[in-house]
């Protein structure tokens, strides 16, 4: 509607502008002109100038002047006729406005698409992002939130939601940055500050940076914020003040409702720390269960199924591609109070599985469960360098790394066997490495896994045909 109003307005203005001469008061126009005469005057001026400059002689000048005057006389004869008068003619004006305006609108109606809006790319991008975000795509949601913070950089809400969304996808560095903006806008709100400091800590590989530590300690004192208290204690532990850390955690545990969401984490850390310090866990966790006490005790486990340390080390020497072996070794060493040995075991395991994310993840979980991340070891941190180094590896080293990747794949399939493509890849990889027994074995396992699904079986069979027997 608005569009048609504008169109009609424009048509009317255009029509009126064109019809303007009909609306002016009466005037007389000369249609002939002294144009030609003025040219002859110019020519005579020019002659005069040339004569004075000495470029033509007097006689030449005179002859030319006569010629020009003769022509001027001819031209003057035409001046007589040639007046037209104009007069106001509302009828003509109205006719012109209506006919022209209607014609323009009609022409547009037949060629245009009036219902279609402008669709600049920027607007459509938002549209598209909203659609995807509504369908549950968190990355699109984040894009939208970024746009929102650009449009309203003073909005605490926008930064806060963005920061939480980053945290949800594990991008703690971006999350910390967004929390920083939120914290600046929120003033001293403790919840915001502690979330900011936590994000900084997570972005720093769960090591509390000094800036975050200041925030946590201040919040712990002023507001008794449980998160701040937990991280302040963690910071103490990471600064080698183990006793202080376990005491602070114990206080936090005592002050907290046993059902509080942070309690499992606090209890786990108390248990690990008690084991590490070789102290009685009940002193810090009065309600500790028998299981927890056992986990925190120094006594090595006597379960007969658990292989001895020496046996584990020997078997790993023979076959380093056993990630469960490395985890078992780390657990055994940690249980024996050898935290550094446990860390070393996991690091060595990482070296063998540098290109297998699933296994690395398992190692990281083990590390955290054992509380090894509380202890600074300087030698930690896998993969990026390892992968970069892989580019410069010798052939044997490269083979070794590939073997590690394959072993990682095998490990993952053992944990999550419902992955036909993964099995096919595993069979092919073993075949490529020349380990036909293992290929055969993997094929058998895959067949067993999918024995109820003929279609998948057929697919695996056809994609591995010629590599293994039995299909």
Over the range 393-424, which residues count as b (16 or more CB within 10 Å of their CB) and which as e?
Answer: eeeeeeebbbbbbbbbbbbbbeeeeeebebbb
Among 44, 76, 98, 104, binds another protein (CB under 8 A): 104
Q: Out of 108, 286, 308, 444, which residue is the one contacting another protein (CB under 8 A)?
A: 108
Six token digits for residue 293: 């006490």
- As a whole number of angstroms, the distance between CA 34 and CA 28 comes to 16
Q: Which stretch binds another protein (CB under 8 A): 27-35, 292-300, 332-340, 448-456?
A: 27-35
Q: From the CB of residue 24, how many other CB atoms can be counted at a distance below 10 Å?
A: 11
**Residue in the structure block whose two tokens are 């048609």:** 4
Site string for another protein, 62-101 (x = CB under 8 A): --x--x---x--xx--x---x-xxxxxx--x---x---x-
Q: Give min distance, CB of 466 to another protein, in A.
A: 35
Shortest distance, position 120 Cβ to another protein, whole Å: 4
Listed ranges 30-38, 231-239, 383-391, 419-427: which one lies at the site for another protein (CB under 8 A):
30-38
Contact status: 187 vs another protein (CB under 8 A)? no
Phi, psi of 81 (to 5 degrees): -70, 180
Applying CB under 8 A, which of residues 58, 77, 80, 114 lies at the interface with another protein? 114
Under rule CB under 8 A, residue 423 binds another protein: no
Told to check if 128 binds another protein by CB under 8 A, we report yes
Coil, strand, or helix at residue 228?
A: helix
- Are 273 and 372 spatial neighbours (Cβ–Cβ below 8 Å)? no
User: For another protein, which is the closer residue by CB, 101 or 420?
Assistant: 101
Determine, following the binding rule CB under 8 A, whether residue 111 of this chain makes contact with another protein.
yes
Residue 453 interacting with another protein (CB under 8 A): no
For another protein, give the closer residue by CB, 32 or 190.
32
Cα–Cα dist 37/223, whole Å? 99
412: tokens are 């993952």
**Of the listed pieces 47-55, 175-183, 235-243, 441-449, which binds another protein according to CB under 8 A?**
47-55
Distance CA(210)–CA(231), nearest Å, equals: 12
139 forms part of the interface with another protein (CB under 8 A): no
Contact (Cβ atoms closer than 8 angstroms) between residue 200 and residue 211: yes
| Encoded tokens for 179 | 């929390």
9 contributes a contact to another protein by CB under 8 A: no
How many residues line the site for another protein (CB under 8 A)? 71
Q: Name residue, tokens 């915001």.
A: 192
CB of 384 to another protein, least distance (A): 24
CB of 148 to another protein, least distance (A): 20
Cβ proximity of 157 and 145 under 8 Å: no
What is the dihedral angle through the alpha carbons of 96, 101, 107, 112, rounded to the nearest 10 degrees? 160
From the CB of 94, what's the least distance to another protein, in Å?
Answer: 13
- Using CB under 8 A as the binding rule, whether residue 35 contacts another protein is answered as yes
- Count, residues in the chain: 471
Question: Is the separation of the CB atoms in 274 and 296 below 8 Å?
Answer: yes
Residues 6+ apart with CB under 8 A from 330: 342, 343, 345, 346, 349, 366, 367, 370, 372
* H-assigned helices in 319-356: 323-335, 339-352
Per CB under 8 A, the list member of 33, 139, 298, 365 interacting with another protein is 33
Q: Does residue 48 belong to the site contacting another protein (CB under 8 A)?
A: yes
Q: Is 289 in the site for another protein (CB under 8 A)?
A: no
| 354 close to 387: Cβ distance less than 8 angstroms | yes
User: Can residue 119 be called a binding residue for another protein (CB under 8 A)?
Assistant: yes
Residue closer to another protein by CB (options 62, 340) is 62
What is the DSSP-derived secondary structure letter of residue 299? Answer: P
> Shortest gap between Cβ of 33 and another protein (angstroms)?
4
Our CB check for another protein shows the closer of 108 and 283 to be 108
Contact between 25 and another protein (CB under 8 A)? no
The single residue among 49, 254, 324, 444 that binds another protein, judged by CB under 8 A, is 49
Q: Is 381 in the site for another protein (CB under 8 A)?
A: no
Check binding of 254 to another protein (CB under 8 A). Answer: no
**CB count in 10 Å sphere of residue 370:** 24
131 binds another protein (CB under 8 A): no
Is 140 near another protein (CB under 8 A)? no
Q: How far is the CB of 26 from another protein (least distance, A)?
A: 9
> What would the two tokens of residue 94 be?
């109205």
């Amino acid at each position: 509607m608005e569009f048609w109003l504008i169109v009609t307005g424009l048509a009317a203005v255009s029509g009126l502008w064109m019809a303007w001469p009909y609306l002016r008061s009466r005037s007389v126009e000369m249609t002939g002109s002294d144009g030609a005469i003025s040219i002859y005057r110019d020519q005579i001026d020019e002659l005069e100038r040339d004569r004075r400059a000495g470029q033509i002689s007097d006689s030449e000048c005179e002859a030319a002047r006569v010629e020009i005057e003769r022509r001027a006389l001819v031209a003057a004869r035409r001046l007589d006729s040639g007046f037209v008068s104009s007069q106001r003619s509302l009828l003509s004006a109205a006719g012109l406005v209506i006919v022209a305006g209607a014609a323009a609108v009609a022409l547009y109606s037949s060629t245009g698409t009036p219902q279609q809006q402008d669709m600049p790319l920027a607007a459509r991008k938002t549209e598209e992002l909203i659609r995807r975000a509504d369908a549950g795509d968190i990355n699109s949601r984040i894009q939208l939130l970024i746009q929102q913070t650009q449009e309203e950089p003073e909005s605490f809400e926008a930064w806060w939601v963005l920061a939480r969304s980053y945290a949800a996808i594990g991008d703690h560095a971006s999350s910390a940055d967004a929390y920083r903006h939120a914290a600046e806008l929120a003033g001293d709100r403790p919840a915001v500050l502690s979330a900011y400091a936590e994000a900084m800590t997570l972005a720093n590989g769960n090591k509390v940076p000094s800036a975050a530590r200041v925030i946590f300690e201040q919040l712990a004192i002023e507001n008794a914020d449980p998160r701040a208290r937990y991280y302040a204690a963690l910071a103490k532990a990471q600064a080698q003040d183990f006793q202080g850390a376990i005491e602070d955690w114990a206080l936090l545990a005592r002050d907290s409702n046993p059902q509080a969401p942070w309690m499992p984490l606090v209890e786990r850390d108390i248990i690990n720390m008690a084991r590490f310090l070789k102290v009685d866990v009940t002193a810090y966790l009065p309600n500790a269960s028998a299981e927890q006490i056992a986990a925190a005790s120094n006594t090595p486990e006597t379960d007969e199924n658990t292989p001895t340390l020496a046996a584990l080390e020997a078997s790993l020497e023979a076959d380093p591609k056993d990630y469960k072996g490395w985890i078992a070794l780390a657990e055994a060493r940690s249980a024996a109070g050898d935290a550094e040995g446990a860390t070393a075991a996991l690091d060595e395991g990482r070296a063998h599985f540098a290109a297998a994310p699933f296994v690395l993840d398992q190692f990281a979980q083990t590390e955290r469960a054992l509380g090894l991340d509380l202890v600074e070891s300087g030698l930690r941190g896998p993969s990026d360098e390892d992968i970069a180094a892989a580019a410069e590896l010798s052939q044997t080293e490269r083979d070794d790394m590939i073997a590690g990747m394959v072993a990682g794949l095998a490990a993952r399939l053992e944990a999550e066997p419902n992955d036909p493509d993964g099995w096919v890849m595993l069979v092919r990889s073993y075949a490529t490495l020349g380990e036909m027994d293992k290929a055969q074995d993997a094929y058998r396992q895959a067949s067993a896994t999918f024995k109820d699904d003929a279609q998948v079986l057929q697919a695996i069979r056809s994609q591995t045909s010629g590599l293994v027997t039995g299909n």
